[in-house]
Structure formats: C-alpha cells, structure tokens
Amino acid sequence: MEGNALASEKRAVILVVEDDESISNLLQINLSLAGFEPIMARDGEKAIEIFRDTPVELVLLDLMLPGKDGWEVLAYIQEKSHGQTPVIITSAKTQKADIEKGFQMGVIDYVTKPFDPLDLAEKIKRVLKKGKG
C-alpha cells in the first residue's frame, strides 16, 4: 500500500469526510491504490479544520456526520475556495431533494451509497484531469 502510493510523483490530495469506520478505511485503501493522497476526517469539525489548514485538490464528502453535518462542511468549503475546489458527495441519502440541493450548492458529483470504490477513483481522476486541462 505504502509503495503504491509513492508511485506517482505528485499525488493529488483528497480530503475524505466519512464517519463510518469501515467505509472510511475502504476509501483510504482504494484512493491510495489509485494514486491519491487521502486525508481522512471522521466528523465535520475535523473536516473543516483540515480544509482550512491543508491545500486539497478534491473533497469526498459524506452528509450524515456527527457534529457539523455535511451541508455545513460543504458550505464552508465553497465559501473558502470560492467554489474552486471540486466536491463529490458520497451519501446514503438518495432522496431527490438532497441530490438537487447538492448540485445547487455546486458539487461536481453526487455518488449514492453503495458505490464501487474503483469507479469512484476513476471518477476522481477524470474530474482532476478535466480541472487541470
């Protein structure tokens, strides 16, 4: 795992906000395998703290979080980065209202759980490539 992560010269930093331990681990493993540098946050406060202090190229954001929820975190990120940081929501909330709200708040994508972590990694790659290009 560690070795793979070092394969790329400059690994894109991804902030992963996810409270469920299993999913958090899953994402960490898969993103690392895909050549990113995931930074894990298990709640909203932590996520905001990291985003404030660390330059991040993309955010994976769960909505149901203890403490500050995903919407609050999203609002902070959009405000802080002036909408420049792409955010992908990963949530078990599948209701149309939530999805619409997400896109209204400027997210790049809204991925509903359960998802394929490999597909998600590909999606992130495309987003980052597109952003660079």
Partner 1 sequence: MLWRSSEDQDIVDTIRIRLLIAFFLVAFVPLVISDYFLSRKAFENSVDQLSESFSRIHPVAKELGDQMGEIRETLSETFFAPAFLSLPTEKQERLLSQIVASYQGKVRSVYLFDQGGRVLLRVPRDAEPPSFTLLKAFSIGKSFEKEGMLFEEPGKEPEEDLLYQIKTQKQGTRWVLARLDLSQFSQFLRDAGEGEKILFYLVNQRGNSLTSLGHSLVSPPRRSTGGIEVSEIRGFHVVRDYVPIADSQLWLVAEQRLPKGHGSVLLWVCVSVLLGLVGSLLLSRLISKRILLLKEMADQIGGGKLDEPISGFSGNDEIASLARSFEQMRISLKDTLTRYDDSLKTERMLYEKVRQRLEEISTLHRIAISLSSTLSLEEVMQQALREMSQTLKAESGALFLWNESERILTLKEAHGFHKFELSFHPGEGIVGDILVANTPLLIEDIHETTRYSASTLVQRNTRSFLGAPLLFKGKCIGTVELHHPEPHFFKEDALKLFEVMVSSLAMAIDHARLYEEICNNLEQRMVELFTLYDVSQVVSSSLDLHTILNRVLDLILQTLKADAIFVTLVEQGDREIYFDRGIPEDLRKEYLRVLSISKSLTSLNSGVPILLRDVREEPEFAYFYRLTDPVESLGIIPIMIEGKLLGNVGVFFHRTHLFTDEEARLLFFLANQVAIALKNARLYNTAVEEKEKLNSILTGMSDGVITLDKQSRILTFNPAAEKILGWREKEVVGEPFSSVFRCSNEHERFSLENMLQAFSAETKGADHQEFAVEGRDGSEKILSIAFSPLREESGELLGIVAVFRDVSKLKEFEQLKSNFISTVSHELRTPLTSIKGYIATLLHPATKFDVTTQKDFLQIMNREADRLSSLITDLLEVSKIESQKFRMNPQPLDLVKMVTELVEKYREIGTKHRVDVQASESLQVKIDRAQIEYVLHHLLGNAVKYSPKGGTILVEVRGDEGKVYVSVQDQGIGIPFDEQEKIFDRFHRVDNRPTRWAYGWGLGLFIARKVIEAHGGHIWVESALGGGSKFTFTLPRTDIPSPHAEEASSRKRRNVLKSG
Return residues touching partner 1 (CB under 8 A): 4, 19-20, 22-23, 25-27, 29-30, 33, 64-67, 69, 92-95, 112-118
Which stretches of 1-133 are DSSP H helices? 2-5, 21-33, 44-53, 70-80, 96-104, 117-132
The nearest distance, CB 87 to partner 1, in angstroms, is 19
The nearest distance, CB 64 to partner 1, in angstroms, is 6
Closer CB to partner 1, residue 23 or residue 85?
23
The nearest distance, CB 81 to partner 1, in angstroms, is 25
Q: Is 124 helix (H, G, I), strand (E, B) or coil?
A: helix
Closest to 11 in 3D by CA, of 30, 32, 40, 28:
32
